[in-house]
């Protein structure tokens, strides 16, 4: 940490800051400059809580050099993490994974048909939502535990592992019973109690980036899960909220290579939620893979026009099949 003093801070103020740093068991190294004095803080392991410092008289700013995460950092864990889900491996050195399925589980028939479409086109993992976060209370809220059963049955029927979102801690037992991967949605990325609970599970966790989360906050959220003992975290970029309304969110694809520099965890991309437009899903999926994503997650529905949720961004069987054909060509270029 670097503590920057005011231009006209007194020598006594500088000394008081040094003493406060030392009282924390750390060392303080003053760096006198022409315009102002700064004080380097040494000896810390990881992020320093600056509360006792930044309120002292004469302190202008505390600049953090360490990050609020360490377990997820590649600096301290250089080997890539590969998350295994049955025979499927997600991470560096393995072909990118494709997760596909409907936004909402609507019925056994819809789910089974979606599963067949996903499998036939070549997806490896099936997705489907049983608990749905919706902006307004007057929209369809999901089938709940009944939906989990339909998802599991469809997955078993086609031989695919399944992933579904958990929205509250009480759902943990049920979701663990039916699903192979637990998904934490964007709205819950900073639901720290939920993060801690999934951190105590053995299931892999697919953690979606919050719509206004910085990359630093995203990695710090993953840190919550790892800190509880679960290292099987898969990150997922799904677009951030910006002033631009031409797409549902703004897909921040540059974080894919950046996450690969900063962290050892695998990272996927969800182009369906990011763009909100069916016509952009295939092309942005390919761009994501070229950017280095370890996989993609795509909304597929047997009949998008009748989907109870997010139909506008869902592909139908034909569209998904075409996209998967395209992607197979790309995998050759990528060396898989």
CA 50 – CA 99 distance, rounded (Å): 42
- Of 165, 161, 215, the C-alpha closest to 194 is 165
Q: How far is the CB of 140 from a copy of itself (least distance, A)?
A: 8
Q: How far is the CB of 328 from a copy of itself (least distance, A)?
A: 11
- Of 131, 129, 126, the C-alpha closest to 144 is 131
Nearer to a copy of itself, 155 or 271 (CB): 271
Q: How far is the CB of 136 from a copy of itself (least distance, A)?
A: 4
- Long-range Cβ contacts of 208-211 (<8 Å, 24+ apart): 208/183, 208/184, 208/236, 208/238, 208/270, 209/235, 209/236, 209/237, 209/238, 209/240, 209/255, 210/186, 211/186, 211/187, 211/238, 211/239, 211/240, 211/241, 211/249
Nearer to a copy of itself, 156 or 306 (CB): 306
Nearer to a copy of itself, 118 or 251 (CB): 251
> What is the Rg, in whole angstroms, of the alpha carbon atoms belonging to the chain?
23
Calculate the CA dihedral of residues 148, 88, 292, 167 and round it to 10 degrees.
20
Nearer to a copy of itself, 153 or 247 (CB): 247
Q: How far is the CB of 116 from a copy of itself (least distance, A)?
A: 21
Nearer to a copy of itself, 167 or 234 (CB): 167
Nearer to a copy of itself, 142 or 155 (CB): 142
Q: How far is the CB of 309 from a copy of itself (least distance, A)?
A: 7
Nearer to a copy of itself, 113 or 252 (CB): 252
CA of 8: how far to CAs of 34, 52, 56, 58, 84, in Å? 11, 21, 14, 8, 57
Nearer to a copy of itself, 100 or 293 (CB): 293
CA 18 – CA 39 distance, rounded (Å): 8
Backbone angles phi, psi at 224, to 5 degrees: -55, -40
CA of 306: how far to CAs of 65, 114, 302, in Å? 51, 13, 9
Q: How far is the CB of 120 from a copy of itself (least distance, A)?
A: 22
CA of 243: how far to CAs of 111, 211, 240, 249, in Å? 35, 12, 10, 9
- Of 167, 211, 169, the C-alpha closest to 186 is 211
List beta partners, residue 306.
none
Q: How far is the CB of 34 from a copy of itself (least distance, A)?
A: 5
CA of 11: how far to CAs of 3, 21, 155, in Å? 14, 16, 69
Q: How far is the CB of 99 from a copy of itself (least distance, A)?
A: 20
Q: How far is the CB of 14 from a copy of itself (least distance, A)?
A: 14
Nearer to a copy of itself, 49 or 156 (CB): 49
CA 295 – CA 331 distance, rounded (Å): 11
């Amino acid at each position: 940490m670097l503590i920057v003093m005011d231009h006209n801070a007194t020598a006594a103020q500088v000394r008081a800051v040094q003493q406060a740093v030392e009282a924390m068991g750390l060392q303080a190294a003053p760096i006198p400059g022409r315009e102002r004095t700064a004080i380097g803080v040494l000896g810390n392991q990881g992020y320093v809580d600056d509360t006792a410092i930044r309120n002292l008289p004469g302190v202008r700013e505390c600049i953090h050099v360490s990050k609020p995460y360490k377990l997820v950092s590649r600096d301290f864990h250089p080997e890539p993490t590969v998350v295994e889900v049955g025979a499927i491996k997600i991470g560096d050195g393995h072909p990118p994974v494709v997760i596909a399925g409907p936004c909402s589980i609507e019925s056994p028939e819809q789910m089974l048909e979606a599963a067949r479409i996903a499998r036939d086109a070549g997806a490896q993992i099936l997705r489907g939502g049983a608990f749905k976060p919706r902006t307004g209370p007057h929209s369809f809220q999901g089938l709940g535990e009944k939906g989990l059963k339909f998802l599991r049955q469809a997955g078993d029927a086609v031989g695919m592992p399944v992933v579904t979102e958990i929205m509250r801690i009480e759902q943990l037992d049920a979701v663990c019973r039916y699903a192979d991967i637990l998904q934490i949605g964007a709205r819950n990325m900073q639901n720290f109690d939920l993060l801690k609970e999934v951190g105590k599970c053995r299931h892999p966790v697919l953690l979606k980036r919050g719509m206004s989360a910085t990359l630093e906050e995203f990695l710090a959220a993953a840190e919550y899960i790892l800190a509880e003992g679960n290292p099987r975290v898969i990150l997922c970029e799904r677009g951030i909220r910006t002033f631009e309304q031409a797409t549902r969110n703004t897909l921040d694809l540059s974080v894919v290579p950046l996450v690969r520099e900063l962290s050892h965890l695998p990272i996927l991309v969800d182009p369906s939620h990011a763009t909100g437009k069916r016509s952009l899903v295939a092309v942005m999926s390919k761009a994501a893979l070229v950017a280095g994503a370890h996989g993609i997650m795509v909304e597929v529905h047997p009949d998008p026009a009748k989907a109870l949720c997010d139909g506008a961004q869902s592909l139908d069987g034909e569209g998904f099949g075409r996209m998967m054909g395209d992607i197979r060509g790309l995998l050759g270029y990528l060396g898989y």
